[in-house]
Structure 1
Amino acid sequence: MNLWSTGNNTWTNYPNLNPKSLSFLSLGKGSRQHNMGKVYGLYECAGHVVPCLVIVKVGKPTECARPGNCGKCELQIVMTHFLNKVYFNSPMNPMELEMYHQIKNAIGVNPTFYESLFTVNANTAVELLSVNCLISTSFCRMIHNKKVLGICGKTELTNAKKSIITMMQYTCTNYVDTLHMKNLLLLGENCYLITLLLKHYPLPKAQMIRNAHAYTVAPSDWKTLLSQHD
């Protein structure tokens, strides 16, 4: 399941080219938990149809500013909730039902067949063959060690010296004395997910594959940096 930019190409959602907005539970409390999104199926490029699934968060009709935007961590929650319901055959909300339909009927793969979940930010470039390295290594390690919960690669900055803002994010390590602080100040929130997994699931293990590289761009101005925490 991939998340791609549409560009000048077209999304194919048979038989509906403009799917309706569907409800799902989001981040927040009370009424703020209600969010809405559109589910798109096959991606057509130069006559070739690519099997993938895209979720566009559109928000509630009453939202005006940044509708549906509850942060990039929300999509991880959406996918993990969906897969959890698939594996345990639990009731699904309207958007999850459409996701299930698109994966099974449009893409042609039963969602229960998925064995791993690979996540990456839209502004992150993955080095050639790194995904292959992650998948092959993770399966090998998980087969031989049932305690391995997840595996990550190494993410580096491409603009560490672009501005004082990027240098602050990369070099602010004077008081780093725990892995938790290193994740927050040096490695960024991309690796903070691993910290949360280890916190809530202390018995399983998380491992790192140094040969799998990715490169990301850190916010270079205050406005963008502060928006990361909205």
Structure 2
Amino acid sequence: MCLITCYSEQEEEIRKSLNSLTLTSFKDNNKLLFIVVDGVITGSGNSQTTSDIILNMLDVERWSSRPMSYCYESVGDIDKQTNMACVYAGHYQYSYRRVPVILVVKCGKESERNDEKPGNRGKRDSQLILMKFLSAVVLNNKMTALEYDLFKKIYQLTHIYPDQYNYVLMVDADTEVHSEALLKMVRAMNNDPKIMGLCGETTISNRFQSWVTMIQIYEYFITHHLGKAFESVFGGVTCLPGCFSMYRVRSPKYEDDKYFVPLLTSPAIINEYASNNVNSLHRKNLFLLGEDRYLTTLMLKNFPRRKTVWISDAVCKTQVPNKFHVLLSQRRRWINSTIHNLLELVMVPQLCGIFCCSMQFVILLELLSTVVLPAFFILLIYLFVAGIQTGYVYLTLSIAFIFIFFQIILIFCTSQKLSNLFWMLIYMLAYPIWNFLLPIYAFWHFDNFSWGATRKIKTSSEDFYYSKGYKKLSRDSLVKKYWYQWEYEKRYHDRGRMEHKIKKMRKKLNKRYY
């Protein structure tokens, strides 16, 4: 199952992402594209809402062309803790491939009709829609009307029960997945049952768009081939990025596969991840800025003996900020969320290893290195200036040369691409930005929890609330029932409606012939 979270992306970005997922070397009948649109929103530069853009791409089934909108429990403030969503079912066709698609549109409550972003609750809420649904299905818990509607439409579309999906691939709407990536990630999961989550290598698709994108190329490279590769040795990658990660839904407890352990669907993880108790600086940085990293943190905290790894063969491409103020806003969120998530993980003693050869010690070093980056840069400048004044400049230059030399060795050992030497030089020129300006800006804005200029939407007085095909909710309360109760109610309702039609038909026949 592939979860694609959408917000205000351009039509071209969404189409590229869907095309890449469709062309992956995995059977079309065994994968399901699960798209969640976060509100009825028109992105900057778009003429339609994101939901309408996607609906125009899909071949929607006739029986789901006008779906009911149902209430569900969402994340947010007091007045935003419930939301409305409707479910479409259809297929996406590209080239000779045809893939089943479930589209969930968060359309908002009646009270949000005149809001700028009706139904918008954030990416964490979009992930929780699928996580709660799979948890209710796998553990046979009570489900909402929305979750029952999802169950019914998934089975009707694919003829596969939702509890038979073993893995969830989470990607962003602007991510292009390599054709072999999905198959390689599934193989890695199948080969090692202890892996509960993994990620691949993320590369940059808009490399030459501006100098801002160019300085990020080598930074992405060392983040994966140095940072995640080292953490993967311990089986504890601390951040599975939301743009390209795979999670295991459940794992067999014994070899006979009769009993299982819920992983992504664990109630402990879902209850904490869905928490609305965000009233401290620490929790706001966890929940509002780095939800992808915090999901990985929760997985490691609840299952410290299982693995999160990095797969170098699985590759994807994504769009990175091409303007400096957007990069500044993005890295502010990433740096601050990194510090607070590492603070959570450093308190977990059950992680693998002992003392200096433990994952806990690695996390502590990573936390310290993130905090002291500006001080290290100032110290480096001081050593260089002091070396010039005292005549020992060669010592400083030799240290810098050794640092660069080891990076060159790293490039040849991991990628063997000479082009990375060029990107390394570009990265070195931007060294003050990465190691001083961005950390200082992030630390100074520790209490800023907005997403800044990362995603822009189109402001309009147009009524966004009802897009095409929406119906009003038939009931206000949030009701949860077991699957068999929903099924019995549906069949009884359908039977009663059919009997009513038969009675009306008999009356017409009686009037005509008698």
- TM-score, L = length of structure 1: 0.78
Equivalent pairs, count: 218
CA contact (8 A) 2:181 2:315 kept: yes
CA contact (8 A) 2:33 2:99 kept: no
Distance in 1 (alpha carbons) for counterparts of 2:455 and 2:304 = 26
Distance in 2 (alpha carbons) for counterparts of 1:152 and 1:229 = 24
In structure 2, relative to structure 1, the CA distance for the partners of 1:105 and 1:92 (3 Å cut) is same
**Is the aligned partner of 1:209 residue 2:257?**
no
Matches within 5 A, 1:29-178: 29-43=77-91, 45=93, 50-63=99-112, 64-142=115-193, 147-159=194-206, 162-163=209-210, 166=213, 171=219
CA deviation map 1:123-144 (0-9, x unaligned): 00001111011112211111xx
Structure with higher strand content: 1
CA deviation map 1:160-193 (0-9, x unaligned): 56446556767599xxx9979x959xx9969624
Distance in 1 (alpha carbons) for counterparts of 2:98 and 2:317 = 28
Secondary structure of 1:54 counterpart:
strand
Secondary structure of 2:201 counterpart:
strand
> Aligned partner of 2:106: which letter?
K
Secondary structure of 1:6 counterpart:
helix
Distance in 2 (alpha carbons) for counterparts of 1:168 and 1:45 = 37
Instruction: Give the alignment partner of residue 11 of structure 1, picking from 60, 64, 69.
Output: 60
CA contact (8 A) 2:92 2:101 kept: no
CA RMSD between the two structures: 3.6
CA deviation map 1:103-156 (0-9, x unaligned): 1233211112111111111100001111011112211111xxxx3211221112
Distance in 1 (alpha carbons) for counterparts of 2:298 and 2:34 = 24
Secondary structure of 1:90 counterpart:
coil
Structure with higher helix content: 2
Instruction: Give the alignment partner of residue 322 of structure 2, picking from 201, 220, 229.
Output: 220
Q: Work out the percentage of aligned pairs sharing the same amino acid.
A: 26
Distance in 1 (alpha carbons) for counterparts of 2:93 and 2:179 = 22
In structure 2, relative to structure 1, the CA distance for the partners of 1:183 and 1:110 (3 Å cut) is closer
Distance in 2 (alpha carbons) for counterparts of 1:155 and 1:49 = 26
TM-aligned CA deviation for residue 201 of structure 1? 3.2
Distance in 1 (alpha carbons) for counterparts of 2:107 and 2:184 = 35
Distance in 1 (alpha carbons) for counterparts of 2:156 and 2:147 = 14
TM-aligned CA deviation for residue 210 of structure 1? 0.6
CA contact (8 A) 1:154 1:214 kept: yes
Secondary structure of 1:41 counterpart:
strand
**Is the aligned partner of 1:2 residue 2:49?**
no
- TM-score, L = length of structure 2: 0.37
Query: What runs of 5+ residues in structure 1 fail to find an aligned partner?
Result: none
Distance in 2 (alpha carbons) for counterparts of 1:67 and 1:57 = 8
* Greater Cα radius of gyration, structure 1 or 2: 2
TM-aligned CA deviation for residue 8 of structure 1? 4.7
In structure 2, relative to structure 1, the CA distance for the partners of 1:13 and 1:130 (3 Å cut) is same
